[in-house]
């Protein structure tokens, strides 16, 4: 199947070709015709499968066709909501790339930057608006955006928006929109909360499911390295240096841990930068740009970046700390193994995280291979500590249970010059 057989215009096909794509992905093959037909859509597909183009291309075509008939109205007719600033910027890049040969105008608005330049763009008139919920409501409250002419609503990464507590904002936004419109919901997972949300605003939606629920890409090689909590950073630095990794995305659970690990890797002689919600948007944009062009070797991120980073041919993702929510593991490692490229996902797992690992293995329905690096063997005398907000958190006044996790399929990798010195049993310095 080609993009031409999907019914796309010559202008859009030209833009797609200029982006280097020749054949539509499975989600695009199903979503594009359904959207062109005017159906509401509820689509689930793995990250990196082309969901953005799946809704961007047909929206551009429908908006351009209407523009030819009515002339330039320059009212917001398509609204695309995303959970993070990075994802909003990424979607806007796609809108600009695919719509470069069309007379449509678009804008992106999100928090963390000055609002006045956004107001000026909105006043000039836009057809397509990409926004994060909070900043959109700021504009609505100041009456600097008119949503009364919206014909198309897209919720991108809807499950992440609910995870981040945007459900009330989404409902407020929907109350500002015309009741008659085409609704598109794209999500990596379909939880009961997502289904409840969809039932409230989708009308007889077509359902698209490309991949099995919460299944990592088969192109991603996954491995677990058991290691004591205090030796994770040393192991990470050794792996990056000895394997000559040039581009590594590393995930931590907290902003403080991201900052601290980034600083310590830099002290080890590895260029690193941190990206998380407390960083200004300019700092986040600069860090991501430096990472993409190779000026920064390691980007340390919290889960806010798990859905919003789109890096071509990213080879390595490292879970320095396992996520508290097992679904986030799938989203994290989905940053590699994209667009047909192979990738590697490494998890450094200490005694505190054994229950987290069990939950992840239960979710992905497989045991992840465990490889012990020589010189970083686990000290069995170290007891598990409570991970704040983790699934193994116990009530105040009770001691955490000693882990009884049995490492299976263990292998050993040698580390030249590796030290077996044990660090004292203290709370992780990276939390």
pLDDT at 330: 83
Task: Count Cα atoms within 13 angstroms, Cβ side, for 352.
Answer: 24
Say if CB 162 and CB 94 are below 8 A apart. Answer: no
Cα 187 to chain centroid, rounded: 11
Q: Distance between CA atoms of 400 and 391, rounded to whole angstroms?
A: 12
Task: Measure Cα distances from 189 to 130, 161, 192, 208 in Å.
Answer: 22, 12, 10, 12
Burial 303-319 (b: 16+ CB within 10 A, else e): bbbbbbbbeeebbbbbb
Does residue 429 belong to any structural domain of this protein?
A: no
Domain-located, residue 62:
yes
Average pLDDT estimate for 275-287? 82
Write the pLDDT tens digit of every residue in 147-206. 999 999 999 988 888 877 888 999 999 999 999 999 999 987 787 888 888 888 899 999
Classify residue 214: in a domain, yes or no: no
Cα–Cα distance for residue pair 376/225, rounded to 1 Å: 9
pLDDT beyond 60 at 393: no
For residue 375, count other CB atoms closer than 10 A to its CB: 19
**DSSP secondary-structure letter at 406?**
-
Q: Are residues 77 and 189 in the same domain?
A: yes
80 and 131 Cβ atoms separated by less than 8 Å: yes
Q: How many domains does the chain have?
A: 2
pLDDT-wise least confident of 132-136, 148-152, 268-272, 413-417: 413-417
pTM above 0.75, yes or no: no
Give the residue carrying structure tokens 């996520």: 323
The pLDDT-based confidence of 84 (bands split at 50, 70, 90) is confident
Percent of the chain predicted with pLDDT > 70 = 84
Q: Do the domain assignments include residue 114?
A: yes
Same domain, 166 and 91: yes
CATH of the domain at 375: 3.40.50.300
Whether 373 and 418 have beta carbons less than 8 Å apart is answered as yes
Do both 255 and 401 map to the same domain? Answer: yes
Bridge partner list, 301: 251, 275
Total Cβ atoms within 10 A of residue 165: 10
The reply to whether 191 and 226 lie within a common domain is no
Whether the per-residue pLDDT at 284 is higher than 90: the answer is: no
Is there a contact between 86 and 287 (Cβ–Cβ < 8 Å)?
A: no
The CA radius of gyration of the chain, in Å to the nearest whole number, is 23
Domain extent, residue 390, equals 220-413
What pLDDT is stored for residue 215 in this prediction? 59
Q: What is the pLDDT of residue 428?
A: 33
Same-domain status, 296 and 201? no
Quick one: 132 and 151 in the same domain? yes
Residues 235 and 383 in one domain: yes
């Amino acid at each position: 199947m080609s993009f031409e057989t999907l019914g796309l215009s010559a202008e859009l096909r030209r833009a797609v070709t200029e982006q280097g794509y020749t054949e539509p992905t499975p989600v695009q093959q199903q979503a594009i015709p359904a959207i062109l037909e005017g159906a509401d859509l509820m689509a689930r597909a793995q990250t990196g499968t082309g969901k953005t183009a799946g809704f961007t291309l047909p929206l551009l075509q429908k908006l351009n066709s209407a523009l030819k008939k009515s002339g330039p109205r320059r009212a917001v007719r398509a609204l695309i909501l995303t959970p993070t600033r990075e994802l909003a910027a990424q979607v806007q890049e796609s809108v600009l790339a695919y719509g470069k040969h069309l007379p449509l105008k678009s804008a992106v608005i999100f928090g963390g930057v000055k609002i006045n330049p956004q107001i000026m763009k909105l006043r000039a008139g836009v057809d397509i608006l990409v926004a994060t919920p909070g900043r959109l409501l700021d504009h609505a409250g100041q009456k600097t955006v008119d949503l009364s002419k919206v014909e198309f609503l897209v919720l991108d990464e809807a499950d992440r928006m609910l995870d981040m507590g945007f459900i009330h904002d989404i409902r407020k936004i929907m109350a500002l929109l015309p009741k008659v419109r085409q609704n598109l919901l794209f999500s990596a997972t379909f939880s009961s909360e997502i289904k409840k949300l969809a039932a409230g605003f989708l009308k007889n939606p077509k359902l698209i499911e490309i991949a099995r629920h919460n299944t990592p890409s088969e192109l991603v090689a996954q491995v677990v390295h058991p290691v004591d909590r205090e030796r994770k950073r040393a192991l990470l630095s050794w792996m990056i240096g000895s394997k000559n990794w040039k581009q590594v995305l590393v995930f931590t659970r907290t902003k403080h841990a991201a900052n601290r690990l980034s600083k310590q890797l830099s002290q080890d002689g590895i260029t690193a930068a941190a990206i998380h919600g407390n960083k200004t948007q300019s700092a986040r944009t600069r860090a991501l740009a430096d990472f993409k062009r190779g000026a920064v070797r390691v980007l340390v991120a919290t889960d806010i970046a798990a859905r919003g980073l789109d890096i071509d041919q990213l080879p390595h993702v490292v879970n320095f700390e396992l996520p508290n929510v097992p679904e986030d593991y799938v989203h994290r490692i989905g940053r590699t193994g994209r667009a047909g490229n192979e990738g590697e996902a490494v998890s450094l797992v200490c005694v505190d995280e054994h229950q987290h690992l069990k939950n992840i293995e239960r979710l992905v329905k497989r045991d992840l291979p465990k490889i012990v690096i020589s010189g970083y063997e686990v000290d069995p005398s170290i007891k598990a500590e409570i991970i704040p907000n983790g699934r193994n958190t116990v009530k105040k006044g009770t001691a955490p249970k000693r882990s009884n996790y049995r490492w299976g399929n263990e292998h050993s990798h040698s580390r030249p010059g590796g030290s077996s010195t044990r660090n004292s049993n203290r709370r992780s310095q990276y939390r």
